Structure 1
Amino acid sequence: MAVELPDDLVELERCAWTAIQAGTLTVETAVAVQERIREYAAECGTPRLEIETALKRAVRYS
């Protein structure tokens, strides 16, 4: 089953991935992504790891 990801979460991950590649990722950005992943996982009843995996695939490998 494919996980549907909200636009705000995808955008947060894109910002974090760009910062990782530039070597400028901050703790605040990383925490914001993780908090939103946890929130969304709770909202939709999907395991956090499944959300995070789908998110990384969508942003980093597509």
Structure 2
Amino acid sequence: DSHNYGDLQVLLAGTCGGSIRPGRHLHFDGQRPLADLWLSLAQTAGSQRNRFADSTSPLELG
């Protein structure tokens, strides 16, 4: 039994105080680790982190 995490869909609720525009479907090409999303959300919330787990770079969520 093989698990495949490619093309994973994530539902994000909220706007992080207006920093993230709602009502959109975003698609990011390539093999982006899920940690890129967590890093992006942390930075949007004010964190100064530049890495999280196996992140490569933050996603543009604005």
**TM-score scaled by length of structure 2:** 0.35
Q: With CA pairs under 8 Å and 6+ residues apart, which has the higher RCO, 1 or 2?
A: 1
**TM-score, normalised on structure 1?**
0.35
Higher helix residue share: 1
Report which of the two structures shows the higher radius of gyration computed on alpha carbons.
2
